[in-house]
């Protein structure tokens, strides 16, 4: 698509994924995450949680991938901001969505500002955010 | 005076080399789609997944145990949850690069919600290349409350 073909409200990235417990284990190890909601099944049962909780950066990464569907390269991502609104649990089906909110044409480049969400099948929003991506 | 006033007087700094294996593992853990994240044997300065910048900043500044420090500062048995991230790039994140970071508590405030009192603490990281060129800025929001 060219710049002219993007309009405010266009969904430029949307995909559904299932939260893999192996991802949670891997990130727990990488960041030495001390929070037991990510690995301690006994603690998770005590808290009456339905499973291990996916780390925020895992969730953010999927939202950013939805944003990058509009980009030629990850190097086009200028900035992003995310807010973790609700827990995401292992095994859950999550849909990542990126929508055009604004298109800014500058000298020699065009930047698209996107809204980002992660949604559960029941409509619960687990993440909200924004991203700015250069497209030309 | 906030529970975090004393901690807010601290500064953290250091450096971290983002190695290819970490970019690879992060891409695997987050289903990173771009093949460049995993590099190749000939590629020692490839692109890394952008969200890995949050972890590089944390590692470079030596704040991998910041949750424990926040919990201790809270004064009672506390749980520390991640509330959000903001990242601005001056240049793409690449493995094979050494990054230098400084960090500080940018803001801390007490709030009361439907589930009771909690604190919101924002850590700000300024990250440069090893030679001092701006690389990216990161903010982490933490929510701290009694467990």
- Residue A60's closest chain B neighbor by CA? B51
Distance from CA of A82 to the nearest CA of B (A): 5
Cβ burial of B124 (10 Å; 0-12, 13-18, 19+) is: middle
The per-residue pLDDT for B42 is: 64
Residue B33 pLDDT grade (very low, low, confident, very high; cuts 50, 70, 90): confident
Contact assignment for A26 to B28 by CB distance below 8 Å: yes
- Which alpha helices (H) appear in chain A, and where do they start and end? 21-31, 41-46, 56-68
Cβ burial of A88 (10 Å; 0-12, 13-18, 19+) is: buried
Q: What is the pLDDT of residues A16-45, one digit of tens each?
A: 999 999 999 999 999 988 889 999 999 999
Cβ-Cβ contacts under 8 Å between A and B: the total is: 96
Question: Chain A partners of B87 at a C-beta cutoff of 8 Å?
Answer: 79-81
- Whether chain B has a CB inside 8 Å of the CB on A60: the answer is yes
Distance from CA of A6 to the nearest CA of B (A): 22
Contact assignment for A31 to B47 by CB distance below 8 Å: no
In sequence order, the 6+-apart residues with CB closer than 8 A to the CB of A20 are A90, B31
Q: A135 vs B56, which has greater pLDDT?
A: B56
Distance of CA A3 to the CA centre of its chain: 23
Q: What values do phi and psi take at B52, rounded to 5?
A: -65, -15
Q: What is the pLDDT of residues A82-128, one digit of tens each?
A: 999 999 999 999 999 999 999 998 888 899 999 999 999 999 999 99
**From CA A40, how far away is CA B82, in angstroms rounded?**
18
Residue from A62, A74, A60 nearest A133 by CA: A74
**From CA B6, how far away is CA B105, in angstroms rounded?**
10
Q: At what angle do helices B20-29 and A21-31 cross, to 10 degrees?
A: 150
Distance from CA of A57 to the nearest CA of B (A): 7
Contact assignment for A57 to B83 by CB distance below 8 Å: no
**From CA B88, how far away is CA B50, in angstroms rounded?**
10
- Whether chain B has a CB inside 8 Å of the CB on A87: the answer is no
Residue A6 pLDDT grade (very low, low, confident, very high; cuts 50, 70, 90): confident
**From CA B140, how far away is CA B124, in angstroms rounded?**
7
The per-residue pLDDT for B44 is: 65
Nearest to A30 among B25, B37, B92 (CB): B25
Contact assignment for A17 to B31 by CB distance below 8 Å: yes
Nearest to A62 among B31, B36, B67 (CB): B31
- Residue B25's closest chain A neighbor by CA? A26
Residue B146 pLDDT grade (very low, low, confident, very high; cuts 50, 70, 90): confident
Per-residue pLDDT at A1 exceeds 90: no
Question: What's the DSSP call for residue B43?
Answer: -
What percentage of residues in chain B have a pLDDT greater than 70?
96
Q: What is the pLDDT of residues B76-123, one digit of tens each?
A: 788 899 999 999 999 999 999 999 999 999 999 999 988 889 999 999
Angle (CA) B97 B99 B101, round 5° = 170
Instruction: Share the mean pLDDT of chain A.
Output: 94
Residue with tokens 């924002």: B122
- Whether chain B has a CB inside 8 Å of the CB on A39: the answer is no
Cα Rg of chain B (Å, integer): 17
* Total Cβ atoms within 10 A of residue B89: 22
């Amino acid at each position: 698509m060219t710049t002219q073909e993007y309009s405010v409200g266009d969904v430029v990235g949307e995909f559904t994924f299932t939260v893999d417990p192996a991802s949670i284990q891997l990130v727990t190890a990488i960041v030495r995450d001390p929070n037991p909601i990510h690995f301690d099944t006994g603690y998770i049962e005590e808290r009456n949680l339905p499973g291990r909780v996916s780390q925020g950066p895992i969730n953010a990464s999927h939202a950013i991938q939805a944003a990058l569907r509009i980009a030629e390269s990850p190097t086009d991502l200028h900035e992003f901001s995310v807010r973790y609104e609700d827990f995401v649990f292992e095994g859950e089906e999550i849909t990542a969505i990126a929508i055009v909110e604004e298109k800014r044409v500058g000298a020699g480049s065009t930047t698209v500002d996107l809204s980002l969400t992660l949604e559960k099948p029941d409509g619960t929003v687990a993440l909200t955010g924004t991203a700015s991506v250069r497209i030309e | 005076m906030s529970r975090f006033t004393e901690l807010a007087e601290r500064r953290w700094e250091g450096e971290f080399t983002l190695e290819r294996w970490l970019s690879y593992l992060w891409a695997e853990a987050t289903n990173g789609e771009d093949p460049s994240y995993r590099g190749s044997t000939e590629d020692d300065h490839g692109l890394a997944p952008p969200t890995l910048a949050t972890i590089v900043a944390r590692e470079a500044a030596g704040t991998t145990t910041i949750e424990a420090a926040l919990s201790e500062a809270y004064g009672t048995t506390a749980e520390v949850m991640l509330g959000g991230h903001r990242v601005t790039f001056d240049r793409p994140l690449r493995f094979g690069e050494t990054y230098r970071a400084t960090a500080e508590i940018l803001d801390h405030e007490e709030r009361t919600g439907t589930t009771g009192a909690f604190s919101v603490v924002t850590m700000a990281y300024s990250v440069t290349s090893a030679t001092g060129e701006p690389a990216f800025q990161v903010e982490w929001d933490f929510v701290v409350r009694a467990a």
